[in-house]
Chains A and B, each alone.
Chain A
Amino acid sequence: MRVALFLTCVNDTLYPDTGRAVVRLLSRLGVDVDFPMGQTCCGQPHYNTGHRRQAEPLARRFADVFAGYDAVVTPSGSCGAMVRELYPRMGRRAEEEGRGSSLALAVAEVVPRTYELTEFLVDVLGVTDVGAFYPHRVTYHPTCHGLRALGLGERPRRLLRAVRGLELVELPGAEECCGFGGTFAVRNPDVSAAMGRDKVDAAVSTGAAVLCAADNSCLMHLGGLIRRSGADVRPLHIAEILASTEGDPLT
């Protein structure tokens, strides 16, 4: 199976460790991973701020760059939801606006083959025990687009529960948004930070050493609050936990 990693622009620029973890994890599971260098951004920042037309070339680029792979895997629920839920909607809107069906047709080919990482592991590879080892107390925050748009459900928790040494503790109010919301974080900084602080407090209350999620953009916001406040919990992408083994542990 030829699998393309769609890392996302945020991870490429700010969180290369997550990218390396995905490559290590998938390779360990026997997947032939490629990173097409033509990939950039899915266009979500543009789409969500009301600049849909600016997002269209990025959707076309996505369809071009990832054409021909058996699957496209992304370690981001949010960008995954952009492709799966909003690309088809963008295509429909373009048609309704009388601009033809070329966008809809272009994305239609790649959308059903695009998976969020935990979804790919559980549904496509059919594994929940990925052979990971991570001897820490961890709490999991289901980020909104993974939870509601993609319906990831219990998949991430099932993967975490199978990690040797890992103690998974339930996060109070887990399904409540962390307050990031892309540009919401800077347009409405006070509400955003208040929501984030409540999320960090909830994580700290569990006594977990690690606050884990499947979206680094949310973790960037929570991590920024954690560092500023000195809270005793580490934000970490789920891929890095799943990539960690006894022979090659995450430090």
Chain B
Amino acid sequence: MTGTHLGMPAFPEAAREAVGNSTLRANLRHATRTIREKRALAVTELDDWAALREAGKQIKDHTLRHLDTYLLQLEEAVTAAGGTVHWAQDAAEANRIVTDLVRATGETEVVKVKSMATQEIGLNEHLAAEGITAYETDLAELIVQLADDRPSHILVPAIHRNRGEIRDIFRERMGDWGRPAPEGLSDIPAELAEAARLHLREKFLRAKVGVSGANFMVAETGTLVVVESEGNGRMCLTLPETLISVVGIEKVVPTWQDLEVFLQTLPRSSTAERMNPYTSMWTGTTDGDGPRDFHLVLLDNGRTAVLADEVGRQALRCIRCSACLNVCPVYERAGGHAYGSVYPGPIGAILTPQLRGTASEVDASLPYASTLCGACYDVCPVAIDIPEVLVHLREQVADQGGHRVEKAVLGAAAWAFDHPAVLATAQRAASLTRALHPSRLPGPGRAWTDSRDLPQLPDKPFRDWWKRHHEGKEDAQ
């Protein structure tokens, strides 16, 4: 991934700030709770949800096991349909390919459909440095771009903003990027949507180059699929003369039929709708309809390294629905920015450290940004066992020497736990000295006692009571 987030504070520090921001807390609480209940209803409506979830998991696992085969099949089908396929090993190569393709058209601006892959590689920043302006056209991405902000949610990157903040951003910044906000713009969502419609329409009508990602690529047919709500996707995919799609290699599915699973599970999981308002499917180019030139950039950027990890590779099943973010109590309180990545929340906590490694402080802290409560696994439409991968990544952080004090303490504890007599002695010592225990601890213990009292120690551990009341019974020591 790019260096955009390097130098970020570790998760706990960033989260502390978010927890203290009452506007942010209220915005996130409101938004995530609204969608949580709706999602549950949308899912309950399908009595075969468990079978769909299992099929989705199996399709993705099967694809990953044969990823080389399906990518080659995809390449052949896209090429046969009039498209051009490019392969990009990392962010720099993908950015270079896209820049060269835009240059070749002679254009200096592009319109963009919301895409996680292009955010991951920092495409907009790269294009800007090359003198090409990228206009984000998704409403939330527009808000983020106008505010010079960072996305905080996979589906709704401006989830941390409420309607009043969005109105202020539109009023203050739209004029700098094009058509200004209408006079007297209010904070009514429909009016805000109208302002975005007017602001972006002129850009759609003159755009010659569109840039997108894709939700799915079908290997057997060469078809790409973009699932969206607003129609900005349709605008970018059909009005320009040139379309460039940057897509992670894990987005391929083998067959056309496989879409029947994901087109049922994705909308219900992400926006809690039976079906999202618009889905576009295209195969190469079509005479007289849509772009004349279509380029597909297949992106690795760390994905093959994730694939090599037998436990961690399940993260590549992700279809970017955001259900795990919306249900996560940690995300709700820490906010998306604390994760220091374009992929926040539970899925981000397992995807980012795998794509970027765990060398930086923020990346090493991500596997620990979870209580392992399991709510994310329950809602995941492709059954990614996020807690399992989190613990697996904690092993990697621990193995690379992280958290030395914790390791020493746990090592000593493991030894004591394997010697019950030692444990009993320690328990008794703690109980005997309980009158001396301070209510607030110094050093690392403060993390507990800053907000919580310590439990009161009993006068003796249970095992002493048991021994006294069950004399004559065997003592396993």
Interface residues, chain A, CB within 8 Å of chain B?
Answer: 7, 9, 11-17, 19-20, 23, 34-41, 43, 45-52, 54-55, 57-58, 61, 65, 89, 96, 144-145, 148-149, 175-177, 179-196, 220-221, 223-225, 227-228
Q: Are B371 and A180 in contact (CB under 8 A)?
A: yes
Contact of B458 among A7, A16, A195 (CB under 8 A): A16
The answer for the CA separation of A52 and B395 in the assembled complex, in Å, is 7
Q: Offer 7 A-B interface pairs, CB within 8 angstroms, sorted by A.
A: A13-B457, A46-B414, A96-B310, A144-B375, A187-B368, A189-B450, A228-B451
Q: Is there contact, CB below 8 Å, between B12 and A190?
A: yes
Say how far A27's CB is from chain B's closest CB, in angstroms: 11
Q: A-B pairs with CB below 8 Å: how many?
A: 202
Chain B residues whose C-beta falls within 8 Å of the C-beta of A149 in the assembled complex: 374
Q: Does B205 contact A (CB under 8 A)?
A: no
With A and B bound together, what is the CA distance between A196 and B403 in angstroms?
25
B476-A14 in contact (CB<8A):
no
Given contacts A14-B458, A37-B420, A37-B467, contact A188 B15 (CB under 8 A): yes
Q: How large is the interface on B (under 10, 10 to 19, 20 to 34, 35 or more residues)?
A: 35 or more
- Cα(A194)–Cα(B20), bound, Å: 9
A16-B461 contact, Cβ under 8 Å, with A61-B418, A195-B330: yes
Q: Are A51 and B420 in contact (CB under 8 A)?
A: no
Q: Which of B41-49, B68-76, B101-109, B404-412 faces chain A?
A: B404-412
Q: Is the CB of A20 within 8 A of B465?
A: yes
Closest to A189 in B: B447
Q: Is the pair A195, B329 in contact by a Cβ cutoff of 8 Å? A: yes
Chain B residues with Cβ below 8 Å from A175 are: 375
In contact, B394 and A49 (Cβ under 8 angstroms): yes
Q: Does B475 sit at the interface, judged by CB under 8 A?
A: yes
Return chain B residues, CB-CB under 8 Å to A23: 466
Q: Are B373 and A35 in contact (CB under 8 A)?
A: no
Closest residue to B16 on the A side, CB-wise? A190
B30 to chain A, nearest CB (A): 14
Contacts of A48 in B (CB 8 A): 372, 391, 394
Q: Are A40 and B329 in contact (CB under 8 A)?
A: no
Q: Complex formed: what's the CA distance from A14 to B11 in Å?
A: 31
Q: Please state if A184 and B370 are interface contacts (CB–CB under 8 Å).
A: yes
Q: Is there contact, CB below 8 Å, between B397 and A50?
A: yes
Query: Which residues in window 438-475 of B have CB below 8 A to A?
Result: 444-445, 447-448, 450-455, 457-458, 460-463, 465-467, 470, 473-475
A20, A35, A149 interface centre (most CB from chain B within 10 Å): A35
Given contacts A35-B463, A37-B420, A184-B370, contact A191 B330 (CB under 8 A): yes
A9 touches B417 (CB 8 A): yes
4 new A-B pairs (CB below 8 Å) besides A12-B463, A20-B465, A57-B414? A13-B427, A35-B470, A38-B420, A225-B452
Q: With A16-B465, A185-B448 given, is the CB distance from A49 to B410 under 8 Å?
A: yes
B167 within 8 A of A: no
Residues of B within 8 A of A58 (CB): 414, 417-418
Instruction: Answer whether residue B160 sits at the interface, using C-beta atoms and an 8 A cutoff.
Output: no
Q: Would you call B465 and A195 a contact (CB within 8 A)?
A: no
In the assembled complex, how far is the CB of residue B328 from the closest CB belonging to chain A, in whole angstroms? 9
Task: Indicate whether B128 reaches chain A with its CB closer than 8 angstroms.
Answer: no
Decide if the interface of chain A is mainly helix, strand, loop or mixed.
helix
Given A40-B423, A57-B418, A61-B418, A193 and B462 touching (CB < 8 A)?
no
- Do B455 and A148 touch (CB < 8 A)? no
Please name all residues of chain A whose beta carbon is closer than 8 Å to the beta carbon of B462 when the two chains form the complex: 7, 11-13, 15-16, 19-20, 35
In the bound complex, CA of A182 to CA of B453 (Å)? 16
The residues in B between 272 and 291 inclusive whose CB is less than 8 angstroms from any CB of A are none
B94 to chain A minimum Cβ distance, whole angstroms, is: 32
Q: Is the CB of A191 within 8 A of B19?
A: yes
Q: Is the CB of A193 within 8 A of B371?
A: no
**Are A181's CB and B461's CB within 8 A?**
no
Contact of A50 among B377, B395, B447 (CB under 8 A): B395
Residues in B1-49 with C-beta less than 8 Å from chain A: 11-12, 15-16, 19-20, 25
Give bound CA distance, A220 to B414, whole Å.
22
Chain A residues with CB below 8 A from B12, complex form? 187-191
CB distance from B338 to the nearest CB of A (A): 9
CB <8 Å contact, B430 and A39:
no
Chain A nearest CB, measured from B463 CB (Å): 6
Most buried by B among A41, A191, A194, A225: A191
A186 in complex: contacting residue of B395, B418, B444, B474, CB < 8 Å:
B444
Contact A12 B394, beta carbon cutoff 8 Å: no
User: Are B373 and A148 in contact, with the CB atoms below 8 A?
Assistant: yes
Give the Cβ gap from B391 to chain A, nearest Cβ, in Å.
Answer: 6
Query: Is the beta-carbon distance between B477 and A188 smaller than 8 angstroms?
Result: no
Chain B residue at smallest Cβ distance from A181? B371
- Whether the pair B475, A37 counts as a contact (CB closer than 8 A) is yes
Q: Taking A11-B462, A35-B470, A184-B371 as contacts, is the C-beta distance between A65 and B451 under 8 angstroms? A: no
Please, which residues of chain A bring their CB within 8 A of the CB of B16?
190
Contacts of A194 in B (CB 8 A): 19, 25, 333
Q: Is the CB of A49 within 8 A of B372?
A: no
The answer on a CB contact under 8 Å between B368 and A14 is no
Whether A13 contacts B310 by the Cβ 8 Å rule is no
Measured CB to CB, the closest approach of chain B to A93, in angstroms, equals: 8
Chain B residues, CB < 8 A from A46: 410, 413-414
Question: Once bound together, how far apart are the Cα atoms of A220 and B11, in whole Å?
Answer: 24
Tell me whether A144 and B368 are in contact (CB under 8 A): no
Q: B334, A37: Cβ atoms under 8 Å? A: no
Complex contacts, B378 vs chain A, CB 8 Å:
148
Residue of A nearest to B427 (CB): A13
Q: Does B305 contact A (CB under 8 A)?
A: no
- Residues of B within 8 Å of A148, CB to CB, are 373-375, 377-378
Minimal Cβ-Cβ distance residue in B for A180: B371
Question: Does A34 lie within 8 Å of B473, measured CB to CB?
Answer: yes
Whether A14 lies near B329 (C-beta < 8 A) is no
Q: Which of A47, A144, A176, A184 contacts B391 (CB 8 A)?
A: A47
Select A37's contact among B374, B414, B458, B463, beta carbons within 8 Å: B463
Give min CB distance, B413 to chain A, whole Å: 7
Q: How far is the CB of A44 from the nearest CB of chain B, in Å?
A: 10
Which of B414, B430, B453, B477 lies at the interface centre, i.e. has the most chain A CB atoms within 10 A of its CB? Answer: B414
User: Taking CB as reference atom, which chain B residue is nearest A8?
Assistant: B462
